[in-house]
Amino acid sequence: MRSSVVQDVQFPKQPALQLIYDTAPIGLAYLSPDCRYLQINQRLTEICGISVEGHLGRTVHDCVPALATAVEGIVRSIMETGEPVTGVEVYGQRPGHNDERCWITYWHPQREPNGSIVGVNVAAEEITDRKRSEREIRAARDAAEKALHHLQETQASLIEAEKLAALGRLVAGVAHEINSPVGTSLTVASVLEQKCADFAAEAARGKLKRSSLSDFIEVVESASSLLVGNLKRAADLVQSFKQVAVDRSYFDRSRFDLGKATEQVLSNLRPALPKNNLALEVDCPPGLAMNSYPGPYGQVLTNLFVNAFPDGKGGTIAIRLRASGTDHVKILFADDGCGMDRDVLRQAFDPFFTTRRDIGRIGLGLHIVHNIVTNRLGGELHLDSAPGRGTSVRITLPRVAPQRGTDS
């Protein structure tokens, strides 16, 4: 019976094609409309462990019962529609093996010259290793994404912790710096209050002497001088803190020439050069048009100028401006002063860090520079320095500063 079925629907054979069919690295088969094997190569028989001869004339249900329902549905669909079915993944086990294997299958109709469909050609390629690699890649990707997410969370936590730490340092610095002049003023005011009470009591008793009046006036003058000096110091500190907080009234956006803006700032600084034994070299070509904030830019130059040569020995400051492409400018501010060691360089932009607190520096100059350049002006800056080799500040600014929510 089986041989007659095979003879009824013959698979078209040619010697060369048959050789390719038999030696193909993928599984090949030809099924009749009722899902009987009319042709099969050795590669495909490995799925069920039955020989080529053992397949011919038998149904899929006889040879691979676990796949019969799916195969019958595909063959029926092709016989009815004439459309191929491709990319169907089939899972199973090879005889004598417990591990699950996977094949990707392609199903195409076999047509007679008149167009009628007489069977279905099947191609099956084992992709077990590829699927395993895909699973491993997915697992590695999932692990990497999880690690990245964890890293981002950790980074966010560290950034938040650093922000809180910086805020704590800022608050502590503000408290420390303000406490000195305010505390002195409070002490002087208390002494002055007591002196006024003593003077008033002496006057009320009618025993006021010229010497007492002279002493009182001297105390008042001295106390007033101390009060004014310390309150001015406190006011200057508050103004510096306002700069750190980016006082909006100071930052008006406008179009300007960078060279002219630079020269305008330097014209206010040049009078300080001789008495500080400083020389200034400026290389600034015209025509560097900016749409940015000249006020904050001027503050950057001023703070860098004031911060140069902390040892007070004098030297040369060099400022060079250049276009960088069409959208950016590069600014070099360099001095040939004493330079910084690695520890000082690492903390240079920290608020209230200074090596010259002994002469009244409060350590906000470079912190303000960093704030303005990276926030308001939308740029970047890099600090290079070494002991005895001076300091270079390299700034890159966009010609058009980024829009801020507070811009008018």
pLDDT tens digits along 99-123 = 788 889 999 999 988 989 999 999 9
Share of the chain above pLDDT 70, in %: 81
Interhelix angle 210-244/128-204, nearest 10 degrees: 170
- Reported as a single tens digit per residue, the pLDDT across 381-406 is 998 888 888 889 999 999 999 886 54
Ranked by mean pLDDT, the top range of 46-55, 147-156, 195-204, 317-326 is 317-326
- The Cα 69–Cα 47 span in angstroms is 16
- Reported as a single tens digit per residue, the pLDDT across 358-387 is 555 556 777 888 888 988 899 999 988 888
Predicted local distance difference test score (pLDDT) of residue 64: 85
Q: How confident is the model at residue 270 (pLDDT cuts 50, 70, 90)?
A: confident
Lowest-confidence pick of 103-117, 233-247, 295-309: 233-247
Predicted local distance difference test score (pLDDT) of residue 164: 61
Please state the rounded mean pLDDT for residues 285-298.
89
The gap from C-alpha 77 to its chain's centroid, in whole angstroms, comes to 53
- Mean pLDDT taken over the chain: 81
- Reported as a single tens digit per residue, the pLDDT across 164-200 is 665 565 566 667 677 878 888 888 888 888 888 888 8
Contact status, residue 59 vs residue 36, Cβ threshold 8 Å = yes
- The Cα 403–Cα 67 span in angstroms is 65
Largest distance between two CA atoms of the chain: 148
Interior angle at CA 130, CA 129 and CA 132, nearest 5: 65
Task: Please check the confidence at residue 232 and state whether its pLDDT lies above 50.
Answer: yes
Predicted local distance difference test score (pLDDT) of residue 166: 52
Integer-rounded Cα Rg, in Å, for the chain is: 44
Predicted local distance difference test score (pLDDT) of residue 163: 53
Q: How confident is the model at residue 9 (pLDDT cuts 50, 70, 90)?
A: very low
Task: Please check the confidence at residue 305 and state whether its pLDDT lies above 50.
Answer: yes
Predicted local distance difference test score (pLDDT) of residue 205: 79
C-alpha closest to that of 355 among 383, 182, 279, 366: 366
Task: Please check the confidence at residue 309 and state whether its pLDDT lies above 90.
Answer: no
